[in-house]
Amino acid sequence: MEKNKPQWSSHLSFIIATVGSAVGLGNIWRFPYIMGKNGGAIFLLTYLLLIAFICIIPLICELAIGKIYRTDTINAFKEINPKFKWLGWLCITTVILIPCFYFVVGGWILNYIWIFISNNLPSDFSSYFTSYSSQIFMPCFLTFVFLIMTASFPYRGVNKGIEKANNIMMPLFALMLIIMAVYALTLPGAKEGLEFMFKPDFSQFSHSMVLTALGQALFTLSIGMGAIITYGSYMKEESHIVKSAYTLIFFDTLIAVIAGVMIFPIVFSFGVTPSAGASLVFIALPEIFTKLPCASFVGLIFFILLFFAAITSGISILETAISAFINNFKISRQKATVLLSIIVAVVSIPATLSFGILDGIKIADKTIFDLLDYVTSNILLPFNTLLICLLSGWCIQSLWKKIFGDNLFGYIFNIILKFIVPIILICVLIAGL
Ligand code: TRP
């Protein structure tokens, strides 16, 4: 146990840090490409409905568990019932697997920042990206650099490290995002881009699209592995759980939508198909940037934006495991950070190399990188979220009363938590598998 349980220095810092955790590559890299692949506006609509009515429930539960038990994920589950300590370990295993692919993308971002700073732009980003990501030394090295940069914040502690990083990076992030979005709206494809995002084509509706939207919603809100429990455990007494949850959802969604408003007008202005997939941000967008006036500058701003988003989310991922290591292995914060970084570094090597020399190794037709992404986002996050909901609904005595008081909202919340959300999540899991 850390001697003095750390606490956010203000409610605002808590909100900024949780928004920093939620807003990440999930919003700027994953959300636009998944929306592009799943029909645009109809996906956005489904995603918004799911977030507002389903995902809010586990989010409130994670915050409440953090605030009530005020400890790391493993101990929180142990306190609910010692029989459930393993669920804590399952969450921590998930949290260790996520950075093993997330930080590989962080390494690519560092490389792109460098090529835009040095103004050494390749003539063809598609072959550049393929040849760069298949190298051995540089991608591994930059993954480690990104890991060390991220880990240096939790190493310094909650207030001096995590809070400071978020308080500086998140406002800068918001500012840059808005400037880029306004700029994108002046491009000739703006109208088409906005129509793609906001004019639903109901013929594109499908069952699998709903599932994809749910997976994306959990990932982007950082639900399902105790990250929110950990940040909630540093909450001030006066911070309100439900209001905080809505604030978090509001900002995360707003930023995802602004990211779309920035990306789709650019995409349509240059005739790229919005369904280009995961490479949208690393191949299609830079390709387009080079055709704009002040290409290096626009590209640089964009990748710095992505860097801030990735680092503030990466911090929350690492912190979740670090706080569990501190309490369960009885080691200092610094030792816990170093131990975790070594584990992540080792596992991320095969993930990084799976774009090059290890690309032949496939399990269930997926490379190591894709497998880590798939298993964590599509299996572990929904599965953990299901268990967290069941535990909160059935094993914590009247959690709903502790959150809402004895009133109608509380009753409705309790029914949704106990029955509706678990059933929907089970459907998602079965269909997803
Ligand atoms: N939400 C972040 C994003 O959108 C990623 C992330 C941070 C995350 N912490 C998490 C995902 C915890 C799942 C669980 O990029």
pLDDT digits (tens, 9 = 90+) for 208-252: 788 788 888 999 999 999 999 999 999 999 899 999 999 999 999
Q: Whose CA is nearest to atom 10 of ligand 1?
A: 222
Answer whether 25 contacts ligand 1 (Cβ < 6 A). yes
Question: pLDDT-derived band of residue 143, with 50, 70 and 90 as boundaries?
Answer: very high
What is the mean pLDDT of the segment spanning 398-418?
91
- Residues 255-308: tens digit of each pLDDT: 999 999 988 888 888 777 777 666 778 887 888 788 778 888 888 988 998 999
Answer whether 105 contacts ligand 1 (Cβ < 6 A). no
> Is residue 3 over pLDDT 60?
no
Ligand 1 centre from 319 Cα, in Å? 12
Q: Which residue would you say has higher pLDDT here, 81 or 278?
A: 81
Answer whether 317 contacts ligand 1 (Cβ < 6 A). yes
Answer whether 94 contacts ligand 1 (Cβ < 6 A). no
Question: pLDDT-derived band of residue 119, with 50, 70 and 90 as boundaries?
Answer: confident
Average pLDDT, the chain: 91
> Is residue 66 over pLDDT 90?
yes
Report the 3 state secondary structure along the chain: CCCCCCCCCCHHHHHHHHHHHHCCHHHHHHHHHHHHHCCCHHHHHHHHHHHHHHHHHHHHHHHHHHHHHCCCHHHHHHHHCHHHHHHHHHHHHHHHHHHHHHHHHHHHHHHHHHHHHCCCCCCCHHHHHHHHHCCCHHHHHHHHHHHHHHHHHHHHCHHHHHHHHHHHHHHHHHHHHHHHHHHHHCCCCHHHHHHHHHCCCHHHCCHHHHHHHHHHHHHHCCCCCCHHHHHHHCCCCCCCHHHHHHHHHHHHHHHHHHHHHHHHHHHHHCCCCCCCHHHHCCCHHHHHHCCCCCHHHHHHHHHHHHHHHHHHHHHHHHHHHHHHHHHHHCCCHHHHHHHHHHHHHHHHHHHHHCCCCCCCCCECCECHHHHHHHHHHHHHHHHHHHHHHHHHHHCCCCHHHHHHCCCHHHHHHHHHHHHHHHHHHHHHHHHHC
Ligand 1 centre from 27 Cα, in Å? 10
Question: pLDDT-derived band of residue 58, with 50, 70 and 90 as boundaries?
Answer: very high
Ligand 1 centre from 288 Cα, in Å? 28
What is the mean pLDDT of the segment spanning 7-25?
93
Q: Whose CA is nearest to atom 12 of ligand 1?
A: 222
Answer whether 20 contacts ligand 1 (Cβ < 6 A). no
Give the nearest ligand 1 atom to 223 CA: 14
Answer whether 316 contacts ligand 1 (Cβ < 6 A). yes
> pTM of the full predicted structure?
0.91
What is the mean pLDDT of the segment spanning 132-138?
95
